[in-house]
Structure 1
Amino acid sequence: MGFSTNLQGRSAHEALLSRQDAELRLLETMKRCLASKVRCDREYAIALSSVATQGCKIDRADELTGSLITSSWKGMMEDLDSAGKLLKSNADYIESKTLDALNTLYSDKRKARKQYQEEHTRIAQQFTH
């Protein structure tokens, strides 16, 4: 399999390298953004858990036994804590699966670019001899 005649010139080679470089920069940006999202989600999950813990501390709880307001508040705090745990587990999943896949893709793209560059250099040297 070879390149079409439109892709055999110096400008086409530079355009392909430029495209590969742009894709690598995009993958780097994606990695930084996802890593930042994971960090922010974890911090938010910790903050939610802290708010839920603080909200569950009720002074004179014995006086509020059977109160609908108290039971609603406790339910809301439990839901808030559950949301924090879910957010943290999603952040962990993104870090373990998505970022790993993105790192693998980035590595593969770099290898492909290097291989293309080496092959192009080899063919160009053969052509000049």
Structure 2
Amino acid sequence: MGFGSELQGQPSHSALLSLQDAELRLLESVKKCVNQRIKCDRDYATALANMVNTAQKLETSPEFNSPTFQAWSTVIKETENVIKLIRDNAEKLVAKTLERLVQVINEKKSEKKFYNEEHNRLHAEFCKVGR
């Protein structure tokens, strides 16, 4: 299987290279954004954990069983749950999304390299035949 005759010229080759470059730039930008998201999530979880640690110091002894103390205890417990969810999500982003994104970027780079090598090889053969 080959290209149609309208896709065999230098303008088509340049367009395909431009498309590959644009896709790689987009994937690199997505990777950068995912890394930023992971960093922000981790920082946010750390800040919430610090807040919970400070809040736990404010709690008084369990002998006070008023609705206010119960509500405060619930806020702290739910914040701890949120921290766990945020951290788990950040780890999943690293383990699944980021890992797969890096894999796709590497595949795109190798496909571009293969395309360039094949184009150069075919161009060299064409030049030999044309002489």
TM-score tier by shorter-chain length is over 0.9
RMSD, matched Cα: 1.2
The equivalences for 1:1-129 within 5 A come to 1-58=1-58, 60-61=60-61, 65-129=64-128
SS in structure 1 at match of 2:58:
coil
Taking the aligned partners of 2:60 and 2:75, their CA distance within structure 1 comes to 19
TM-score norm. by structure 2 comes to 0.93
Runs (4+) off by over 4 Å: none
The residue type equivalent to 2:90 in the other structure is: A
The Cα of 1:58 is off from its aligned counterpart by 2.6
SS in structure 2 at match of 1:57:
helix
The Cα of 1:116 is off from its aligned counterpart by 0.2
Taking the aligned partners of 1:95 and 1:59, their CA distance within structure 2 comes to 35
1:6-52 deviations in Å (ceiling 9; x for gaps): 21110000000000011111111111110111011000001111111
The Cα of 1:54 is off from its aligned counterpart by 1.3
The Cα of 1:99 is off from its aligned counterpart by 0.5
Taking the aligned partners of 1:116 and 1:126, their CA distance within structure 2 comes to 15
Taking the aligned partners of 1:56 and 1:44, their CA distance within structure 2 comes to 18
1:31-90 deviations in Å (ceiling 9; x for gaps): 11101110110000011111112112236436x611110011110111011101110110
Structure 2 gap ranges (5+): none
1:87-110 deviations in Å (ceiling 9; x for gaps): 011001101111000000000000
Taking the aligned partners of 2:96 and 2:19, their CA distance within structure 1 comes to 26
Closer/same/farther in 2, CA of residues 105 and 17 from structure 1, 3 Å limit: same
TM-score norm. by structure 1 comes to 0.94
Aligned length: 128
